[in-house]
């Protein structure tokens, strides 16, 4: 499926990404914002995630449950387009998940999750590929050449932002930041579960509610999630 390039959306996406560091220097916030920008800007993307690899690969930011689920299927099978993008430092495009034959352990899980096509773009930092942007679509042939180019631009710009923010001084610092990102994601997942039970909504709908609350209150997504968890459990 061909898509007309939207240069204004691409320009706005890069502007949004360039402003991330001014508002919030935290590792998780930078990458979470980048995933949201990429989801909005890349035509065909239903969900976007960011994988970082410091030893074991980890999803440190995700726009929704589908991306997280499919990422983790790759980690569990030690195969898939995301991991290949990181290891080879090359863009990996899966045009049609139904006819794809690479990664036989991973493919059944991706298809069962409802993924029709995907795009994984390596994230370069200090001359090494330390992670990847992953875009997933529920339809086949969702990503054209323009989507790939925009994804590459966003990944490169995100890497510049990370470097300029001083987030990669040492391997130890990076490991600490990854651990903090994991804690943030755990709190967000817990808050999503609370909303799903209270409002009888899906995981994606619960995540959207948290994002709206974050935007309306101008607080970090993690802080909004933590406040909800504390209020529900009475630990605040």
The pLDDT-based confidence of 233 (bands split at 50, 70, 90) is confident
Return the exposure string of 128-161: e unless at least 16 CB atoms fall within 10 Å of the residue's CB, then b. ebbbbbbbbbeebebbbebbbebbebbbebbbeb
If pLDDT is split at 50, 70 and 90, which confidence band does 129 have? Answer: confident
Give pLDDT tens digits for 41-85.
Answer: 898 999 999 898 877 898 888 888 899 999 999 999 999 999 999
Q: Say if residue 10's pLDDT is above 80.
A: no
What is the per-residue pLDDT for 193? 92
CA-angle at 10, arms to 161 and 90, nearest 5°: 65
Question: Rounded to whole angstroms, what are the CA distances from 224 to 90, 94, 174, 190, 215?
Answer: 36, 35, 24, 12, 10
Please report the pLDDT score of residue 53 as a whole number.
Answer: 84
Neighbouring residues of 99: CB distance < 8 A, sequence distance ≥ 6: none
Domains of the chain, with CATH numbers? 7-168 (3.30.450.40), 182-233 (1.10.10.10)
101 or 214: which leads in pLDDT: 101
Yes or no: say if 145 and 5 are a contact pair by the CB < 8 Å rule.
no
The per-residue pLDDT for 179 is 65
Please tell me the predicted confidence (pLDDT) of residue 120: 97
Mean pLDDT of 122-126: 81
Percent of the chain with pLDDT over 90: 40
For the stretch 171-217, pLDDT in tens is 445 566 666 666 777 888 899 999 999 999 998 888 888 888 887 88
Residue 66 to residues 45, 62, 230, Cα–Cα distance (Å) = 11, 9, 26
At 163 the pLDDT is 63
CA angle 86, 10, 135 (to 5 degrees): 35
Mean of pLDDT over the chain = 82
Closest to 17 in 3D by CA, of 130, 159, 208, 184: 159
């Amino acid at each position: 499926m061909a898509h007309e390039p939207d240069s204004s959306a691409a320009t706005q996406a890069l502007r949004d990404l360039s402003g991330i560091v001014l508002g919030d220097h935290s590792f998780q916030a930078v990458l979470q914002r980048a995933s949201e920008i990429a989801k909005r800007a890349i035509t065909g993307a239903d969900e976007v995630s960011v994988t970082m690899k410091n030893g074991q690969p980890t999803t440190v930011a995700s726009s929704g449950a589908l991306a997280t689920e499919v990422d983790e299927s790759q980690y569990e099978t030690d195969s898939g387009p995301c991991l290949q993008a990181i290891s080879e430092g090359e863009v990996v495009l899966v045009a049609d998940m139904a006819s794809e034959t690479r990664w036989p352990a991973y493919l059944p899980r991706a298809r069962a999750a409802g993924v029709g096509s995907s795009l994984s773009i390596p994230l370069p930092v200090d001359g090494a590929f330390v992670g990847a942007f992953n875009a997933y679509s529920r339809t086949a042939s969702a990503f054209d050449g323009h989507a790939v180019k925009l994804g590459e631009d966003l990944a490169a710009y995100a890497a510049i932002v990370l470097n300029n923010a001083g987030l990669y001084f040492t391997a130890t610092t990076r490991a600490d930041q990854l651990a903090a990102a994991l804690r943030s994601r755990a709190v967000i997942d817990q808050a999503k579960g609370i909303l799903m039970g209270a409002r009888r909504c899906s995981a994606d709908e619960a995540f959207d509610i948290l994002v709206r609350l974050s935007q309306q209150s101008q607080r970090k997504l993690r802080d909004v999630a933590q406040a909800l968890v504390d209020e529900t459990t009475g630990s605040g």
